[in-house]
Structures are given as structure tokens and as C-alpha cells.
Amino acid sequence: MNRLSLNQWTTRRWSLADAVEGCVRHEIPAIGVWRQQLHECGLDRAVKLVADSGLRVSSLCRGGFLTEGTALDDNRRAIDEAAELGAPCLVMVVGGLPGVPAGETPAAGFSRDLPAARERVAEALAVLAPYAGERGVRLALEPLHPMYCADRAVISTLGQAVDLAEAFPVEQVGVVVDTFHVWWDPQVFEQIARAGRRIASYQVCDWLQPLPADVLLGRGMMGDGVIDFGPLTAAVEAAGYRGDIEVEIFNADIWAADPDEVLTTMKDRYRTLVR
């Protein structure tokens, strides 16, 4: 269990202090922090909470949305926060088509130019990657399932993420392997091997079938869906990844459940299905 990490969104109704205490209570050695709860807590207090607990910070979620014109300043702030927390990477959800807000109706005059949106991502990374590298933080590009291409991530495959990352030093830009987003990809094992040292984060949860009406909440506890975790974990290990393994679940029923019970189940499923 020494590589298990609780991504905070799995226990969304817990504050950062609650999540830190929960990890300590359940002997989970690492935590993936979300900026929303970080800001509610305050950065200085959060840094002290984590340091006093002895937990590792596996990642800070999230930066990105690079296809919008206002992204650079907020991402610089996120990089600074990750550095203060001691997070090795900032997870980057790169953004959808310009003018298409996440989960909302497209604005009037939104752009349908998908190649141009992807070029915006590359241009923003060229600015942010050196800034992150100077602060010891790696930008971790997370490809999202294609159903999120319009509003959340114009990078849909691990191969696309590696293509972008390879333009930068490995210590500046890496990739996220998230089982929910990549399990379906017929090239996933080839691209995991290709990513190698570029793998900055490995996140796990299951793909529920059928998906709920809000597909953002279609992530399930490992074992409640259709993903075969063993081969994916083995491939990530074979590629050389030795970092923490985050459980990140967006699910209304799990959010409503007793968080301590969620962590008990999470540990059991991680032990039997992921490792």
C-alpha cells in the first residue's frame, strides 16, 4: 500500500484538512490535492497540514484550459502552488474548443477549428514549461476520453499527449495515464511503453456501464465497471513508473457515501484489482 494515493475528488465533500486526517487514519501515504479545496484552506495552512501529517503530495489538480486566452496567469499561479506544496506534477486538462465552457452550452461565435485549438495548447506549453521546470514542477498532460473533446480536452489519446510532451525536456512536461480515459485505446500499451519516463502520474478508477446521464460522473470504484486494471498497471510498471497511484473518482453515489467507508473499499479494491 506504500504507493496508494487518495485523489481528493474521490471524497469531494471532505475539506483538505479532513482528507489529510482521513489518509493518516487509513494509513494511505499520499494525497492528490485539488485547487478548489486548497484555496478554501489557504496555501500556507495547507503546506503546514501536509508537512505535519507526513503525507506525500502526489499531484496538484488541476491546471490547463490552455485554449482560452486567460489561461497563462492562472497556470503560473497553479505551478507556484504545486511548488509550495511539494507536488511533483501539476495535472493539466488542456481545454476544449475556444468558447465552449466545460459542461455548458457553447457561447455565441465559438470556434469549431479543432487543429487551431490544439495549436493553442502547444503555444501555451512553450511558455509554461520552462516556468514549471524552474520551480521543480512537471506539467502532466492528461488525455481525456474523446467524449470530452469539445469542452474539456482537445487531447484525446495518450499518443497525442506524448507527441506534445516530446517537444519539451522530460523534467518539464510529462503525461498522465488515467485508466478511465485510456482503457479503450487500441494503442494504449504501445503508447505507455513509448511514454516511459514521461509518465508523471498514474490514476485509476473504473468505467461504469451504462454511463449516467452526466457522463462526467461515470467513474466508478475499481471493480464496479469494465476495466481490466492488471495489464494497465503492469504496462505502466514496465515503462519505468515508480510514483504514486492515485484513485480519482467522480461519482455522485460515492460522494454521498461515508468517506471512511469509501476509503476502506478503495484500499481493498486497490489491493486486489490494481496492484
As a whole-number percent, the residues of the chain with pLDDT over 90 amount to 99
Q: How many alpha carbons lie under 13 Å from residue 140 in its C-beta half-sphere?
A: 23
pLDDT tens, residue by residue, 106-165: 999 999 999 999 999 999 999 999 999 999 999 999 999 999 999 999 999 999 999 999
Please give the tally of structural domains in the chain. 1
Contact 35, 62 (CB under 8 A): yes
The whole-number average pLDDT for the span 195-206 is 98
Cα end-to-end span (Å), the chain: 9
pTM here is 0.97
Provide the domain limits for residue 74: 4-103+112-274
Q: What is the largest distance, in Å, between two alpha-carbon atoms of the chain?
A: 51
Mean pLDDT of 174-196: 98
pLDDT at 36: 96
pLDDT higher than 90, residue 70: no
Residue 33's CATH number: 3.20.20.150
- The set of residues, in sequence order, having a beta carbon less than 8 Å from that of 106 and lying 6+ positions away, is 97, 99, 100, 150
CA–CA distance, 116 with 268 (Å, rounded to integer): 44
